Structure 1
Amino acid sequence: MAGKRVLIVYAHQEPKSMNGSLKDAAVTELSRQGCQVTVSDLYAMNFEPRATKNDIVGALSNPKSFNYAVETYEAYKKQSLSSDVVEEQKKLQEADLVIFQFPLYWYSVPAILKGWIDRVLCQGFAYEIPKYFKNGFFQNKSALLSFTTAGTAEMYFKKEYAGDIRYILWPLQHGVLHFCGFKVLTPQINYAPERASEDKRKEMVTSWSRRLETIWDEKPIDCSLSWYFE
């Protein structure tokens, strides 16, 4: 889809990792389609994951009692957020599709990616009251989680010790992406690449590339409780 803009928010330390290969495959395939692809390589950027007073440039609204959410909301309205946050917000604002590429850490994202979520998706920019969920700001954008796990696929079922993978996705897909209004696409999950053969790992990358060939035709998931828990 020539002219489409894609943002890949990538969180892995090693370029030669499976996550690195999946990121590279996405860049290659989407660029081949004529998309404009931007990668936020968080580790390479040395992205600051901590949400602190440094995210506000200039005077605080209430210097006597610091409230990060309130201060960043006011700073966004006054255009006084730190430059690194503003740069990421600009990338996100321009994107038609956002891909989050990461390894699953403790049933969630790596700290550096959680910091990106905390700092970039501030009130005023990513949501407003009551403009969230189906009324969210990013209704014209799609997003998906592409990630790797340490455990095999057989471990992520309701009666297994890891639990159903959809339970794990609830906070990220529903509490972050859907909350901000994104159309959430089916996650791309690559189970236990470190336990897989070289041929199997290549298959994972090829499968991802093939999916991306028709990614613009995909329908979003049903963002309801039943998708996750029934």
Structure 2
Amino acid sequence: MKAFLVYWHPEPQSFNHAMFVTAQATLTRLGAEVKTSDLYAMAFDPVSSRKNFRTVRDPAFLKLQTEEIYASEHQGFATDLDEEMAKLEWCDLMIWQFPLWWFGLPATMKGWVDRVFAMGRIYGGRRMYEGGAFRGKRALLSLTTGGPAQAYVKHGFHGDIHTILKPIQHGMLQFVGFDVLAPQVVYGPVRMSDAQRQAELDRFAQRLGRLDQETPLAWETY
């Protein structure tokens, strides 16, 4: 297995960081090759601009998709983006570790998607959904919430967690061809005891050892 872990959290003592470390250590112990992108430690810039490219298709008007297609054809992506795209193309399992903020990805991780999921190289033409460039690769969201589990069910205080995650799982991951596994959600770790948090880490490690037995989500059903 070739696993790519994409992580963002500003605090290295956070539970999200513990989840990230657990995934990295567990997958390595299981014999996987592991590459990581700790976006906070990397000071990854989430803002798209001409700095995304070493090439220029139209100097008079910046249309990112046009420049992405041109860069895809002329090896024109900035070095930092080219490195991230290479990890994406290399892996057969990708895990995103993050805190759910405002019902979505933290800004830096969303900006990573904006810049790295480039038209022409990552998607485009007929390369979308089941015909996407990453068909056969798997992706897993691993995240924490602020609220308790009962708040994230249908008709709950915040609504169904699967509905909340659909723009990410379907609109980003499945869009470029990934098979998406059920999310690993830890609800309200801030309210847990140390023993409960450790139990969640153990549960995650155990699941990582059985991922090859899991069936991806069928997007029409969530």
TM-score (ref. length: structure 1): 0.94
| Residue 174 of structure 2 is aligned to residue 172 of structure 1 | no
Question: Which residue does 2:107 correspond to in 1?
Answer: 111
Aligned to 2:32: 35
Gaps of 5+ in 2: none
Q: Which of 145, 157, 162 is the equivalent residue of 2:158?
A: 162
- CA deviations on 1:176-197 (whole Å, 9 max, x unpaired) are 0000000100100000000111
Q: Which moved more, 1:188-197 or 1:72-81?
A: 72-81
Identical columns (%): 39
What is the letter of the counterpart of residue 9 of structure 1?
V
Report matched runs for 1:26-175 at 5 Å: 26-58=23-55, 60-175=56-171
1:186 and 1:208 map into 2 onto residues whose CA distance is 12
Paired letter, 1:208: F
- Any stretches of 5+ residues in structure 1 without a counterpart? none
Q: Distance in 1 between matches of 2:155 and 2:213?
A: 34
CA RMSD after TM alignment: 0.9
Partner SS, residue 45 of structure 1: coil
Q: Give secondary structure in 2 for the equivalent of 1:43.
A: coil
* Deviation sequence 1:100-119 (CA, Å, 0-9, x none): 00000100011110011001
CA distance in 1, matches of 2:13, 2:33: 23
Residue 221 of structure 1 is matched in structure 2 by 217
Inter-partner Cα distance in structure 2 for 1:215 and 1:13: 28
Give the letter aligned to residue 23 of structure 1. Answer: F
Residue 156 (structure 1) shift: 0.8
TM-superposed deviation, 1:200: 0.9
The CA distance in 2 between the partners of 1:88 and 1:214, in whole Å, is 27
Structure 1 counterpart of 2:64, which letter?
Y
Distance in 2 (CA, whole Å) between partners of 1:25 and 1:222 is 27
- Distance in 1 of aligned mates of 2:108 and 2:69: 21
Give, in whole Å, the separation in 2 of the partners of 1:218 and 1:154.
Answer: 25
Matched, 1:8 2:9: no
Output one character per residue of 1:111-154: Cα deviation in whole Å (capped at 9) or x when no partner: 11001100101011211212100101101210010000001101
**Quick one: which amino acid aligns to residue 127 of structure 2?**
K
Residue in 1 that maps onto 2:196: 200
- Look up the equivalent residue of 2:102 and give its one-letter code: W
Provide the rounded CA distance (Å) in 2 between the counterparts of 1:128 and 1:66: 18
Tell me the TM-score normalised to structure 2 length: 0.97
